[in-house]
Amino acid sequence: MKVGTMFHDVSTSLFRKPVTEKYPFELREPPERLRGQLLWDPEKCTGCGLCAMDCPANAIEMIVLDRKAKRYVMAYHVDRCLFCAQCVHSCRQGCLQMSTDEWELAALNKESYTLYRGDRQDVELVLAGKVPADLAASQ
Ligand code: SF4
Ligand code: SF4
């Protein structure tokens, strides 16, 4: 490259608006059909486990604490999820959907990639390992 051309490029770049985006300070509108993290509505859930069974990535554990009382905990392994939405199609109760705006899923440690959902006390029981193995209907 000629020195004159280089000087011209440098000088015009100095006064041009940057083309890079100021992420994370400026966010683009996500696409309409974006598949972000999995959302679960426990109210409609029957604990059938179909979502976990059909997930090709073993990203869902559906832990049934008490079926009659509808006490379920979902462990969602975001780092395994392929965002394929198979679980959404498999759920006959319509309680799963892919978020269209929750897509910033990076974390600083591996533990943060497992999201526990359900009643807070039930989640605490699961985390404390107080759920008998035969009640944990994962996969
Ligand atoms: S979106 Fe696909 S990979 Fe992710 S939890 Fe659902 S079935 Fe599994
Ligand atoms: S498939 Fe639906 S109803 Fe069955 S355990 Fe999964 S979320 Fe609940």
**Are the CB atoms for 121 and 33 separated by under 8 Å?**
no
Question: Strands across the sheet with 114-117, in order?
Answer: 60-66, 71-77, 114-117
Ligand nearest to the CA of 51: 2
Residue from 38, 93, 138 to probe ligand 2 pocket by mutation (most atoms less than 8 Å from CB): 93
Residue 27 CA to residue 50 CA, distance in Å, equals 35
**Chain centroid to CA 115: how far?**
8
Ligand 2: centre distance to CA 47 (Å): 5
Token look-up 């929750």 returns 102
pLDDT tens, residue by residue, 56-87: 999 999 999 999 999 999 999 999 999 999 99
Residue 62 CA to residue 49 CA, distance in Å, equals 6
The residue ranges of the chain whose pLDDT is under 70 are 1, 132-139
**Are the CB atoms for 28 and 21 separated by under 8 Å?**
yes
Ligand 2: centre distance to CA 74 (Å): 9
Q: Which DSSP letter does residue 78 get? A: T
| pLDDT for the residue 52 | 98
Ligand 2: centre distance to CA 27 (Å): 33
